[in-house]
Chains A and B, each alone.
Chain A
Amino acid sequence: MRISRSELERIAELASLELSEEEAERLTRDCQAILEYFEIVRGADTGDAAPAGPLEHAGPPREDSADCDPLRRRLDEIAPAWREGYFVLPRLPAMDADIPAESDDV
């Protein structure tokens, strides 16, 4: 299995990772070496082994009731922006074409 530079760029896009030229070069090399090492496991005779499954010890579902974690800090204390009981999110350019892309206005 070989991983090409274009394959690496496709994976970076899927993973939402911006890579510098130098990083892309190094990652192509590293990923290639690691994937070659992983070949050992693909040689395993897994026969009819089932994939590791869910846990046998999982407890019964709890009652369907609101049971919130009592927070140590109020949300308005930690929110970068908070208005009328809600978080105020950064305005993303793609969400509003009328707002200049540089704006961090909320």
Chain B
Amino acid sequence: MEELHERLRSRAVRAEDLLQATMKAIAESDAQDAPLNAFISLGGEELAGQAAALDRALDNGDEVGPLAGIPIAVKDNICTGDMPTTCGSRILEKFVAPYEATVIRRLRAAGALIVGKTNLDEFAMGSSTENSAFGPTRNPWNRERVPGGSSGGSAAAVAADLVTLALGSDTGGSVRQPASFCGVVGLKPTYGRVSRYGLMAFASSLDQIGPLARTVKDAASMLNVIAGGDHFDSTTAHVPVPDFTGLLEGGVEGLVVGVPREYFPNDLDSGIAALCETAVERLERMGAEVREISLPNTVYAVPAYYLVANAEASSNLARYDGVRYGLRAPGARSTAAVYRETRGMGFGSEVKRRIMLGTYGLSAGYYDEYYGCGQRVRRMIADDFERAFAKGVDVVFTPTAPTVAFRLGERVDDPVQMYLSDVFTVTANLARTPAISIPIGRVEGLPVGGQFVARHFEESTMLRAAYTLEASMAGESLESRA
């Protein structure tokens, strides 16, 4: 991105030309027998006007923002104000928000060009981007495979070189798992580091917006722009935001890397385990102190996550009732029927399943047994991390996902198997810690991600570890497939 930004500044490339080339590449990615289908909608005249204005500013030598002219894709559950925000759902098919999310306002102020809205599992509920009402996105490395999810469109768009950067949202791994499957970098900031204002709520205590990029440095650059307190989101932290790109150098000498044994079960794919082992050896050779640690409550993470997330989702999605936001069932004969029939025809099967399970878990007689239990176990999982960090561990290293990208259709009929895709990522959401996935190699030609987790608001330490490991691999696993 740095190079592209420099070429824009030196006028070797014009923002309007870059935008046109981006739109052409997106169209070409879909003009095949197995279309990539990374985007749901694309920017129009307003976007072209923004590119022209940037070119005028650059021609005049005016000061421009750090992302001036950089094409960026945005997951379609983040409101941009100018394009529809569908959440991958029929119930919001024609919904255009009248406002833009705080992250979008900050990106635009930095000069970014929001070129389009990317495909996702409906309401971000899924791990494969197959649950979209607008068809599945395919993996650029192998179009018979899923790109992961739920931010599969954003990950595929970056991996296929359609855009330089993208935004996703991560409730249980929805930035990191697709980053792993598509061979790109995916970052989930600490809960509260980035404003959720303008992000369609799925599970409010877990949701966090994060960057997808081709390099750790690009992800850090994007985090620099979007991070920081926001009075439109009272859960954001009003804590100092460091210059994350300025803190990438320095290496890992003396850094304590915890490797939790629970993330390396006997049935973990042997190729993934071997790549993780190699990554840990590299860190050790570069001066890091590697310690085996235990996070004993990891075994409860996936069910605890789904108990909490589904309960919050059932509450958050109650607003889609046929009165607001577009779709309304025709001919319903009572107010209750309008709600019931609109939701019945507007939501897809995974969303219905989660609403049902969430409603069940919150219903009289079951609240403490399910939601309450999930929240207590969540505390125990967060305490596991706290104990490790209190004993001197600086970052935890794990595989991002237990497998490489699976085949389209392989898990759609087995929800529990699909949920287990998130087994290594949900813990960071439950514990509200920052986490990042970076490519660490390939198994059978498909990308594999390694994950770093750090203390709350210690993104800079985590980014430094990731940057150092990435540099040691000399970009060997960052090659993209269009």
Contact = CB atoms under 8 A, between A and B. Distances in A.
B7 interface: no
Interface string B357-379: 10110010000011011111111
B429 to A, nearest CB: 11
A50 B318 contact: no
A105 to B, nearest CB: 14
A78 interface: yes
Contact of A42 (B306, B341, B369, B457): B369
Contact of A46 (B332, B380, B457): B380
B106 interface: no
A15 interface: yes
Nearest to A57: B237
Contact of B334 (A62, A71, A93): A93
B49 interface: no
B336 A14 contact: no
Interface in B318-366: 318, 321, 323, 328, 330-336, 338-341, 343-345, 347, 349, 352-353, 355-357, 359-360, 363
A59 interface: yes
Contact of A17 (B191, B352, B383): B352
B404 interface: no
A67 B242 CA distance: 27
A31 B357 contact: yes
Interface stretch (B146-154, B157-165, B272-280, B295-303): B295-303
B192 A55 contact: yes
Interface residues of B, number: 74
A57 to B, nearest CB: 4
A89 interface: yes
B413 to A, nearest CB: 9
A93 B363 CA distance: 29
Interface string A40-82: 1110101001111101011110100001010111110110000
Contacts, number: 167
B323 A41 contact: no
B101 to A, nearest CB: 10
Interface stretch (B92-100, B122-130, B167-175): B92-100
A58 B299 CA distance: 30
Contacts of A72: 81-82, 98-100
Contacts of A60: 238
26 contacts: A11-B360, A15-B356, A16-B318, A17-B343, A17-B347, A17-B355, A17-B356, A18-B340, A20-B344, A37-B419, A38-B307, A41-B374, A42-B373, A44-B373, A49-B377, A49-B383, A51-B376, A58-B235, A59-B238, A60-B238, A71-B81, A73-B81, A73-B98, A78-B98, A92-B323, A92-B335
